[in-house]
Amino acid sequence: MPYQHLLTIAQDAAKLAGEAVLEIYDSGDFTEYSKDDDSPVTSADYRANEIIMALLEQHTPDIPIMSEETDQLQLSDRAGWQRYWLIDPIDGTQEFIARSGDFAVNIALIENNEPVIGVIYWPAGESLYYAVKGKGAFKSCAVENKQIHVKTFVDPANDPVVIAISRRQKRENVLKRLDQARTYQTLPAGSCSLKACFIAEGKADFFMRLGVTGEWDTGASQCIVSEAGGLIRSVDFEPMSYNQRESLENPNFVVLGDQSVDWEALVNYYID
């Protein structure tokens, strides 16, 4: 099945789920639960998951699906997957609960352990970010549909770096791990995927994620950021992995904009 057709299916699923989530969000009528790891999940997450799973199963019955909100198979049962859907029904559940509006629906297609399609729908912003490997990254909203790119630095060694940072993250925890000679500005943002999208469209240049995430948090983002000219790497600057380990937990990672910047020199992650 051609990538363009699969992209359309993913876009339709993300928007349909996002519209349902936004309706629940606006009504305030949802139930909050705690997972085994004490992270939050809501009835809206489960509803979005149902919508996405149903649509993907209907149109691509031969493609396996991995979702944050379903039981995960052992590596031995999924290692042979050459292609599968990777979804996070609501990335930014805490933002949904806190009513910041900064949550998104993430859908990626992973092929041979690499994201080749990425779709991120931001319901409150009525914005759809998407990419196909080798075809560029795009943003569609009410006023425009355009290709997006990371911001180009005029002076890569000295220009101020705009950091996308969570409203619930201590700014100092990130800044102390960066080159102190550099000038930084911060852009408050919500979910991991929206921070990545802001980097892809040039609103920010850098994001460091410290804390537990899963492969579904980065799959769609990685495709979009890469096609926009950026990169997602672990804090050790190693490639992110997909469906290659028993654990689906990500390492701490960084999302990087303009590749003319010496990001490895800028990041001093292991500072005391």
pLDDT per position as a tens digit, 165-183: 987 777 788 888 999 889 9
End-to-end CA distance of the chain: 50
Q: Does 7 lie in the same domain as 106? A: yes
Q: Nearest-5° angle of CA 90, CA 93, CA 99? A: 115
**154 inside domain:** no
Axis-axis angle for helices 43-59, 3-27 (nearest 10): 160
Of 148, 181, 199, which one is at a domain's C-terminal end?
Answer: 148
Q: Do both 100 and 191 map to the same domain? A: no
| Residues contacting 82, CB < 8 A, separation 6+ | 111, 112
Domain identity same for 19 and 143: yes
Average predicted confidence (pLDDT) for the chain:
94
Q: Which of 148, 180, 213 is where one domain is finished?
A: 148
Number of domains in the chain: 2
Write the CB contacts of 191 (distance below 8 Å, at least 6 apart in sequence): 91, 92, 95, 102, 103, 104
The pLDDT of 111-115, averaged and rounded, is: 98
Cα 22 from Cα 122, distance rounded (Å): 10
What pTM was computed for the model? 0.96
Domain limits at 128? Answer: 3-148
Residue 271's pLDDT band (cuts 50, 70, 90): low
Please report, for the domain that includes residue 198, its CATH number.
Answer: 3.40.190.80
Distance, in Å, from the CA atom of 196 to the CA atom of 214, rounded to the nearest integer, reads 15
Contact yes or no for 242/192 (Cβ under 8 A): no
What pLDDT was estimated at residue 173?
Answer: 83
Contact 152, 201 (CB under 8 A): no
CATH code of residue 90: 3.30.540.10
Return the structure tokens found at 89. Answer: 């029904």
Mean pLDDT within 52-70:
98
Q: Are residues 9 and 136 in the same domain?
A: yes
